[in-house]
Amino acid sequence: MRSLLSALAIMTIAAPALAQSRLLAEGFADLNDRLSPAVVNIATSQRVEGVDDLPRFPPGSPMERLNSDGAAQVTSLGSGFIISADGVVVTNNHVIEAADAIEVILQNGQRFEATVVGRDPATDIAVLRMNVRNPLPYVQMADSDTARVGDIVLAIGNPFGLGGSLSVGVVSARNRNIDAGRYDDFIQTDAAINRGNSGGPLFNTDGEVIGVNTAIVSPTGGSVGVGFATPTSIVRPVVDQILRYGEIRRGWLGVRLANLNSAAAERAGYRGDGGAVVTRVTPDGPAASAGLRPGDIVLKFNNRDVTDSRSLTRMVGEAQVGTSAPLEIVRDGRRMTLTATIERLEEAEGASRAASGEESNEPRRDGGPRGGRIFGVALSELDPSLREEFQIEPDVEGLVVLSIDIDSANENVLRPGDVIEQIGFQKTDTMITARAIAGEAAVGEHAVVVRINREGQRTFRRLRARS
């Protein structure tokens, strides 16, 4: 009897492995035939002004798209996937942001104009809708939390604009943080992901989407076997809110957090693993009203285990606005449960601005832009929302780094969340002053010195002003 039970146990454990082994032996042609019709190519175009200094090209030449009025029509390509028969498409926000026109191209060559239902820059997810008459093939999103390291995965997309392509790999790691933002929780894979794959699906061997291919690490710009997909555990709530409200309604607790270290654990009288340390509580915010204090260690939020500060940040963001959330904490060696009423992040931002005398619907007093690019780095003036997103202290002033161009010479110098406090040893906290200082500093120079604040630590870096 014991040997029979042992044999049954071995068969049960081996079943998933046998299924994947069979797929490896037989190939993925049938799976590709079933899934590819629901994977789309996305072409966007954007009219860019201010290129009067560019040369004129003869009629009929490939460069005639540079118009005589000093504007250029810039196109880009990406991928996406259909999630409903009526033409709803999921992709990356960076694939379609700033686009003047979006065209979705099906595997059979059909083309449809698409409109943006909503987008979420914080998670880099966007939802599009095509105006279609007939039902379209679509795919389902699965629970990405069930994916394990070593599972076989398939990436289907539009690399380099070549059209539908399939690559196969494995889940290399889970819960990767690549400093892309506060909601980092990527699936890492060695399936080939290249430019143009952005926004495309990462499938499991059941043909279900477990991630949206988003980023790669590469010194060459092509795949070197280190790709990252946003898991569906993050994607699905974002898509659901966009389809329901047309926007994201993200929760806000009103705390600044840090990962647990031995000193914080000792002060709180805590000897366990996991948890997030509260380092600051916003006055009159949900956490303050619940009685949360600096030094408290949060172990559970909404009855879910808190592993670190990022996991708690994600949980709060996903929490339904207006609901009550229990927080299990440790304080002075005692466990207790507090209850906080979750507020909406954007509404909290507006209240903060009103308290400081700045109207949220008015332009800045200096009339300058809120954001822009300098030396291949996307920057923004600080506001309460960005301070909350990147956990920047109230007394830190400057321009926050949002992203760095992949091909920029400064790609490995800065990272999102850095605050540039000085350019060329001059203080800067608006885009107008930053552009003026950078322009002067870059004259005749190949690099400028900037002072950055990274998680409270100040340091100097050299930014390449020219490639």
Q: Which residue has the tokens 């010479």?
A: 409
Biggest alpha carbon–alpha carbon distance for the chain: 85
169 is in an annotated binding site: no
Q: Of the candidates 216, 204, 242, 193, which has an alpha carbon nearest to the alpha carbon of residue 90?
A: 242
For 426, half-sphere exposure in the C-beta direction (CA atoms, 13 angstrom radius) is: 12
198 is in an annotated binding site: yes
**How much is the CA Rg of the chain, to the nearest whole Å?**
25
Q: Of the candidates 383, 417, 422, 425, which has an alpha carbon nearest to the alpha carbon of residue 400?
A: 417
**CA-to-CA distance for 69 and 50, rounded, in angstroms?**
9
**CA-to-CA distance for 215 and 180, rounded, in angstroms?**
9
User: 190: which 2 tokens?
Assistant: 């060695």
User: 73: which 2 tokens?
Assistant: 């029509």
**CA-to-CA distance for 260 and 171, rounded, in angstroms?**
28
Secondary structure of residue 418 in the 3-state scheme: coil
Cα→Cα distances 289→205, 214, 253, 281, 330, Å: 47, 38, 10, 10, 17
**CA-to-CA distance for 32 and 40, rounded, in angstroms?**
13
446 is in an annotated binding site: no
Count of positions (residues) in the chain? 467
Active-site residue numbers? 94, 124, 198
Give 226-281 as a DSSP string: -EEEEEHHHHHHHHHHHHHHSS---EE--EEEEE--HHHHHHHT--SS--EEEEEE
Beta-strand runs (E) in 306-398: 324-331, 334-341, 343-344, 371-374, 377-381
196 is in an annotated binding site: yes
Identity of the residue numbered 441: A
DSSP state of 121: T
Distance of CA 452 to the CA centre of its chain: 22
Q: Of the candidates 388, 390, 395, 465, which has an alpha carbon nearest to the alpha carbon of residue 429?
A: 395
45 is in an annotated binding site: no
User: 16: which 2 tokens?
Assistant: 């998933």
**CA-to-CA distance for 18 and 208, rounded, in angstroms?**
19
Do residues 278 and 312 lie in contact, with contact meaning Cβ atoms separated by under 8 Å? Answer: no
Q: Which residues contribute to the annotated binding site?
A: 94, 124, 196-198
Q: Which residues contribute to the annotated binding site for substrate?
A: 94, 124, 196-198
